[in-house]
Amino acid sequence: MKTKQRHFLEPVSLGGMLYSTTVVVSLAMLLMMTAQAEPQAPRSAQPVRGDVKKGRTLYLKYGCYECHGTEAQGGGYTGPKLAPPADPVEVLFSQVRDPVNEMPPFTRKVLSDHELLDIYAFLQSIPNPPAVNTIPILGAPK
């Protein structure tokens, strides 16, 4: 007699209740994350140092502008806006090293941590745009 192989997302009955492997694994991971002995301070509490000029050069050299725009303003359907304001440095490192969606990964062999900090410094240096009501062509008071 041949047994039917189950798909890992197929619900299973345990004591009259339905569970899927995904739910069980998710709950286990949540418990492990909340069971840490002491909370750790976020790394962004430390001052982030980098060279803005080098960061802009690296941003262009590695092609970040192709998806995120030359001023990190976002590329419409390709890449999201990166600044201003720049996300915390941990978010940048996480996304660059282990990206979500269509972005290719940039390992330390390709882009060093120091270079990534320079890019982050560039992102932090981008000023906020002027308020809409201060732009004359958009109806600023005369």
Domains within the chain, CATH numbers bracketed: 48-125 (1.10.760.10)
Q: What is the pTM of this model?
A: 0.64
Question: How many other CB atoms are found less than 10 A from the CB of residue 86?
Answer: 19
Question: How many other CB atoms are found less than 10 A from the CB of residue 37?
Answer: 4
Question: Cα 85 vs. chain centroid, distance in angstroms?
Answer: 13
Residue 18 pairs in a beta bridge with 13
Place of tokens 């419409």: 76
Residues in the chain, pLDDT under 70: 1-47, 140-142
Model pLDDT, residue 123: 97
Model pLDDT, residue 45: 47
The pair of three-digit structure tokens given for residue 126, joined into one six-digit string? 């981008």
Residue 14 pairs in a beta bridge with 17
| Residue among 72, 75, 73, 76 at smallest CA distance from 59 | 72
Dihedral angle, C-alpha 41, 42, 44, 46, nearest 10 °: 20
